[in-house]
Amino acid sequence: MTSLWCERPVGIVGLGLIGGSLGLDLRARGTEVRALVHREATAARARERGLADAVSTEAEVLRECGLIVLALPLDRLLEPDAALRQALPAQAVVTDVGSVKQPVLERWQGWHPRFVASHPMAGTAQAGVEAGLEGLFAGRPWVATPAAGTDPEALTAVRQLAEAVGADWLTCDAAAHDQAVALISHMPVLVSAALLQTAELGGAAADAAALVRRLASSGFADTSRIGGGNPELGALMARCNRPAVLQALARYRHQLEALEALVQNEAWGSLQDALSHCQALRPEFL
């Protein structure tokens, strides 16, 4: 019988937005947190902020942990340091927080016997050791994507972790997850970025560069928000979820071209019907 995760320290690898927020929430409820970070300056600041009980740049800090959360950027998660992999105790439950699940699952289930692929769907525009904040996960989905070989007790432990910080637990297939987040998160970043580029270039071409900037209002601000977000993260999501992002983009292009054809053909009734459908549809996504 395995110990529940909360009876032993929780390890967190990386104290950025997700790792730092998790550390704060777990400590607030009395769980001991031990963290591994890359740089000594980060460790010092993390200690000042109280993100974990112990913070080190040495992987042995994780030795006593019963559950370890890899709160690393996707690229470092997919190509981890050898020292990190070696330092993970075989009996510990290991999970990640990456926004793409298939490639993570494929690698890590071969690397660690008690790995659970998971993805807390929470975030702000901030990153780094200053970004972590309490309550980030409350009421937000925390998705796990168990595979045939996933240890059921390990899965339960990760669920307990997610629920301990107030997240809304669900599980689904890794491929379905990656397609879903491509549709509602990764592809929209590119859709939104192209809007900013178009407003810039179209404004310049119309000799209205200042005018487009002055007239842009809250609608444009909302539509362009994620396109103007963290560029490293946007590129990394496209890179790590490339097949699903390309599929979503192809589907998107098809839909937009259909709307364009309605305008081209002056099919105003059909255009209004399409927009009415969108108006009715949107609340399902809120």
Contacts (CB under 8 A) with a copy of itself, residues 99-118: none
Classify residue 59 by its DSSP letter.
G
Residue 235, C-beta contacts closer than 8 angstroms, at least 6 positions apart = none
Give the phi and the psi of residue 115 in degrees, each rounded to 5.
-80, 140
Which candidate, 110, 109, 93, 180, places its Cα nearest to that of 143? 180
Applying CB under 8 A, does 148 fall inside the site for a copy of itself? no
Q: Is 138 in the site for a copy of itself (CB under 8 A)?
A: no
**Stretch touching a copy of itself by CB under 8 A, among 46-54, 57-65, 127-135, 196-204:** 196-204
Q: Based on the shown chain and the rule CB under 8 A, indicate whether residue 3 belongs to the binding site for a copy of itself.
A: no
Tell me which residues in 245-264 interact with a copy of itself (CB under 8 A).
245-249, 251-253, 255-257, 259-260, 263-264
Residue list 212-251, contact with a copy of itself (CB under 8 A): 212-217, 219-232, 234-235, 238-239, 242, 245-249, 251
State yes or no: residue 271 binds a copy of itself (CB under 8 A).
yes
User: Is residue 85 part of the contact set for a copy of itself (CB under 8 A)?
Assistant: no
Count of CB atoms situated within 10 Å of the CB of 172 = 14
Size of the site for a copy of itself (CB under 8 A): 96
79 binds a copy of itself (CB under 8 A): no
Under the binding rule (CB under 8 A), the answer on residue 265 touching a copy of itself is: no
Alpha carbons 98 and 69: distance in angstroms, whole number = 11
Residues of this chain, 152-171, that bind a copy of itself according to CB under 8 A = 170
Among 21, 118, 150, 192, binds a copy of itself (CB under 8 A): 192
Biggest distance spanned by C-alpha atoms of the chain: 71
**Bridge partners, 118 (sequence order):** 144
Q: Does the protein bind a copy of itself through residue 1 (CB under 8 A)?
A: no
> Which one of 50, 73, 141, 166 is in contact with a copy of itself (CB under 8 A)?
141
Contact call for residues 158 and 67 (beta carbons, < 8 A): yes
Residue 189 CB, shortest distance to a copy of itself, in Å, is 8
